[in-house]
C-alpha cells in the first residue's frame, strides 16, 4: 500500500526538522516547504526529502506545494503577521482537499493573552478546527527544553546557566518528543482527529534542578544566575535575535514565573500517543552538550568570556517602543495565563480528554 506524502512547513527549524527526521526514520514520503534554496534545503534533499520553495503567505504558492500531498504539519511562523500565513494555508488546504492538518500551537494560547502571537495562535487553532472535511490535531507544548539549553555554551564554558524565570518549575519537552507526537498524528489522523496534545517532560524542574543535571552532564559545577531583562536584550541583539522574539518572550517568562507551565504538568500525552515515555531533561541536555560550542576548548572558553564581558556595554532593544511602532491591536482585557479563569478551565478539560472519545467532526469521511 502506497503511503501518502506528507507536507512539512518549518522543515529547517527545530521541531519541523525533528518531524522530518522521524518521518524519514519511519520511511514515510516527505515534501518540505522551504523559503529558498540554501545549504539547509540541500541537506534535506540529500536525505531523500522533496523540497519546494514557497512563500508561506501566498495561498497560490502554498496550493502548488500541496498538490500531490494528503496531510500536513503546519508550523506557525514566529512573525508579527503570522495570522495571514495561517489563513493562506487554510485556504490552500481546503482547495487541495488535504485529509489532515497537524498544527503546532502553544500551551498559553488564549484570545486575551497580552502577546499578539499567542492571541493569533488561538485564532489559528479555531480556524483549522473549522475546516470542513479536514481532520485537525493540535500540539500545544509549553516552554521547550531548548529555551534553557540554548545557553549550553555558557554552562559548559563559564559554569553559569542564565535564569529568566526565578524559582518556578516546568516539565520541559524536547523537540524530539514534540515531533514524535506530531508524527503519530500525521500517520494516523483519523485516530487523533479533534484532539489537543500537550507533550511535556517526565518531571517538574526548577532552574536549580536543571543546573544540578547540567553539572552532572558537563562534569563541572554549574550555577543558576539570574539574568535581568536589560542584559538579555543586549545579549539577544548581539546574537541577532529579532525584537519580536523578545517582545513575546517577555510575557512568556512572566507566565513561567506565575507557574503557568507547571499547571497540569507533567502529562502522559507523549506516552499515550507514541507508546514511549518522554525523554528526561538529562537525555536532552546530553545531546546539547555534544554540540561543538559546548566543547571545553581554549577557543570556546575565550569566546564565551568575551561575549559575557562585552554584553553589558552593547546596545539593547526598547521593547515598548518596538510594540508601539508595530501598532499591534491590544486585547481589551489582557491577562496572563494564571490570571485567566477561562484559560485554566479549558486546560483542565484538555487534561481529561483521554477519559472520553475523540471528537471526529472534522475528520474526512
The proportion of the chain whose per-residue pLDDT surpasses 90, expressed as a percent, equals 84
Are the beta carbons of 107 and 263 closer than 8 angstroms? no
DSSP at 18:
H
- Sketch the domain layout of the chain as residue ranges: 6-143+174-199+342-355
As a three-state string, the secondary structure of 35-69 is CCCCHHHHHHHHCCCEEEECCCCCHHHHHHHHCCC
- Res. 13: pLDDT tops 90: no
List all residues 6 or more positions away from 329 whose beta carbon is below 8 Å from its beta carbon: 116
Q: Cα separations (Å) of 86 from 89, 114, 182, 226, 341? A: 5, 20, 18, 37, 27
Question: In the prediction, which pLDDT does 360 show?
Answer: 38
Question: CA-based angle 187:346:104, to the nearest 5?
Answer: 35
Compute the average pLDDT of residues 52-81.
95
* DSSP H or E stretch at residue 231: helix 229-238
Binned at pLDDT 50, 70 and 90, residue 1 comes out as low
CA-to-CA separations, 122 to 128, 157, 214, 360, in angstroms, rounded:
10, 40, 35, 20
| Model confidence pLDDT, tens digit, residues 134-192 | 999 999 999 999 999 999 999 999 999 999 999 999 999 999 999 999 999 999 999 99
Cβ neighbours around 352 below 10 Å, total: 9
pTM equals 0.92
Phi and psi based region of residue 197 (left: phi greater than 0; alpha: psi -120 to 50; beta: remaining): beta
Output the pLDDT for position 354. 57
Q: CATH second-level architecture of 6-143+174-199+342-355?
A: 3-Layer(aba) Sandwich (3.40)
List the one residue out of 84, 156, 93, 152 whose CA is nearest residue 128. Answer: 93
Locate 243 and state its grid cell: 525584537
Amino acid at each position: 500500500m502506497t503511503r501518502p506524502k506528507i507536507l512539512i512547513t518549518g522543515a529547517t527549524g527545530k521541531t519541523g526538522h525533528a518531524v522530518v527526521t522521524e518521518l524519514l526514520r519511519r520511511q514515510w514520503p516527505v515534501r518540505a516547504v522551504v523559503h529558498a534554496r540554501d545549504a539547509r534545503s540541500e541537506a534535506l534533499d540529500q536525505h531523500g526529502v522533496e523540497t519546494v520553495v514557497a512563500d508561506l503567505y501566498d495561498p497560490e504558492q502554498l496550493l502548488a506545494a500541496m498538490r500531490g500531498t494528503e496531510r500536513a504539519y503546519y508550523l506557525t511562523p514566529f512573525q508579527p503577521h503570522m495570522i495571514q500565513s495561517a489563513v493562506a494555508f487554510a485556504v490552500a488546504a481546503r482547495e487541495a482537499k488535504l485529509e489532515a492538518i497537524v498544527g503546532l500551537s502553544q500551551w498559553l494560547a488564549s484570545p486575551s493573552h497580552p502577546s499578539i502571537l499567542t492571541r493569533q495562535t488561538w485564532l489559528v487553532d479555531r480556524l483549522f478546527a473549522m475546516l470542513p472535511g479536514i481532520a485537525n490535531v493540535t500540539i500545544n507544548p509549553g516552554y521547550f527544553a531548548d529555551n534553557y539549553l540554548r545557553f549550553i555554551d555558557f554552562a559548559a564554558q563559564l559554569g553559569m546557566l542564565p535564569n529568566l524565570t526565578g524559582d518556578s518549575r516546568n516539565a520541559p519537552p524536547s523537540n524530539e518528543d514534540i515531533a514524535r507526537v506530531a508524527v503519530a498524528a500525521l500517520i494516523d489522523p483519523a485516530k487523533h482527529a479533534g484532539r489537543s496534545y500537550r507533550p511535556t517532560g517526565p518531571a517538574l524542574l526548577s532552574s536549580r534542578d536543571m543546573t544540578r543535571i547540567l553539572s552532572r552532564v558537563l562534569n563541572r559545577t554549574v550555577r543558576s544566575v539570574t539574568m535581568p531583562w536589560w542584559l538579555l536584550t543586549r545579549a539577544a541583539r548581539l546574537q541577532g535575535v529579532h525584537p519580536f522574539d523578545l517582545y513575546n518572550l517577555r510575557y512568556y517568562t512572566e507566565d513561567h514565573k506565575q507557574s503557568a507551565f507547571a499547571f497540569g504538568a507533567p502529562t502522559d500525552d507523549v506516552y499515550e500517543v507514541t507508546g514511549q515515555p518522554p525523554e528526561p531533561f538529562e537525555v536532552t541536555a546530553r545531546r546539547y552538550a555534544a554540540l561543538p560550542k559546548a566543547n571545553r576548548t581554549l577557543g570556546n572558553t575565550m569566546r564565551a568570556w568575551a561575549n559575557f564581558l562585552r554584553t553589558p556595554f552593547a546596545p539593547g532593544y526598547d521593547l515598548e517602543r518596538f510594540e508601539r511602532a508595530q501598532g499591534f491591536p491590544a486585547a481589551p482585557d489582557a491577562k496572563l495565563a494564571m490570571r485567566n479563569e477561562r484559560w485554566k478551565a479549558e486546560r483542565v478539560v484538555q487534561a481529561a480528554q483521554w477519559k472520553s472519545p475523540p471528537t471526529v467532526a472534522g475528520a474526512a469521511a
